Amino acid sequence: MSDTVLLERKGRVALLTLNRPQALNALNSELLTTLCAHLDTLSEDESVGCVVITGSEKAFAAGADIKEMSDKTYIEMKNADHFGRRFNALKDTKLPMIAAVSGFALGGGCELAMICDFIIASETAKFGQPEIKLGVIPGMGGTQRLTRAVGKAKAMDLVLTGRMMDAQEAERSGLVARVVPSDKLLETALSAAEAIASYSRPTVVTAKEAVNRAFETTLSEGLHYEQRVFYPLFATEDQKEGMAAFTEKRPPDFKHR
């Protein structure tokens, strides 16, 4: 596997580090293929309970690789569409994913962070969809996911002006779950991932699917969906264990992690 994405295992957590420092982790086809291959393998591996995706201190990822794209024709871009489709299919992975963002998360970099279940940002993080400056628009979900995350006003502002927003603005806007000092970024993301990986896996998957359902349906349908998936959890050993452990004042020992 190419070294454009590095994989480290930390117990039940997998850490994927984007690794094209010379290009600020721009997402070229080699990197995207490697990332998707890692995620495919990790999602089949029952010993992995959560994935953290990170970049370098200077850049999470500065977008799709402009140099690789610049001479492409319409047909070539259409043929390369499997990247867009594979990328968008990541939203259906059962694997919980956290983006740990430091520095630039622009264009496809911001889109990659948004595909993760949530984003933890360092104080230096900068988010944006600057594609308009290149004569294109976001092409890996930016117009849709950013709008759902921050609302129309802020999404239009970012997509039409191409400006960047800093970590504080991103947190205020609802794009980012937490902002932490740079030197605490990885530690915080890994500790959140460890917590998630320690819980009952079927319950984590159900929780993730239920929250994601909120973006796909009406409130009444979503509430109906939540009830349909909430009650069956009472048929699991892990629900019995979780509640017994609470009553007995001990940590739970979930069977299905």
The residues that touch ligand CAA, with contacts defined as CB under 6 A, are 23-24, 26, 62-67, 104, 106-108, 111, 130-131, 134, 138-140, 142
Q: Strands 5-10 and 164-166: what pairing? A: unpaired
Least distance (Å) from ligand CAA to the CB of residue 53?
16
- Nearest CA among 253, 244, 243 for reference residue 198: 253
The one catalytic residue among 55, 108, 109, 141: 108
Q: Is 35 helix (H, G, I), strand (E, B) or coil?
A: helix
64 in catalytic set? yes
CB 109 within 8 A of CB 65: no
Nearer to ligand CAA, 131 or 238 (CB): 131
The one catalytic residue among 107, 109, 131, 197: 131
Least distance (Å) from ligand CAA to the CB of residue 232?
38
CB 100 within 8 A of CB 183: no
Phi, psi of 215 (to 5 degrees): -90, -5
The one catalytic residue among 84, 111, 139, 167: 111
128 in catalytic set? no
CB 96 within 8 A of CB 204: yes
Least distance (Å) from ligand CAA to the CB of residue 147?
14
CA–CA separation, 43 vs 56, rounded Å? 24
Which residues, in sequence order, are bridge partners of residue 54?
A: 17, 100
30 in catalytic set? no
222 in catalytic set? no
Nearer to ligand CAA, 161 or 191 (CB): 161
Least distance (Å) from ligand CAA to the CB of residue 80?
11
Nearer to ligand CAA, 108 or 202 (CB): 108
Nearer to ligand CAA, 111 or 238 (CB): 111
- Nearest CA among 183, 199, 110, 98 for reference residue 150: 110
Phi, psi of 7 (to 5 degrees): -115, 130
The one catalytic residue among 23, 64, 121, 193: 64
Active site residues per annotation? 64, 108, 111, 131
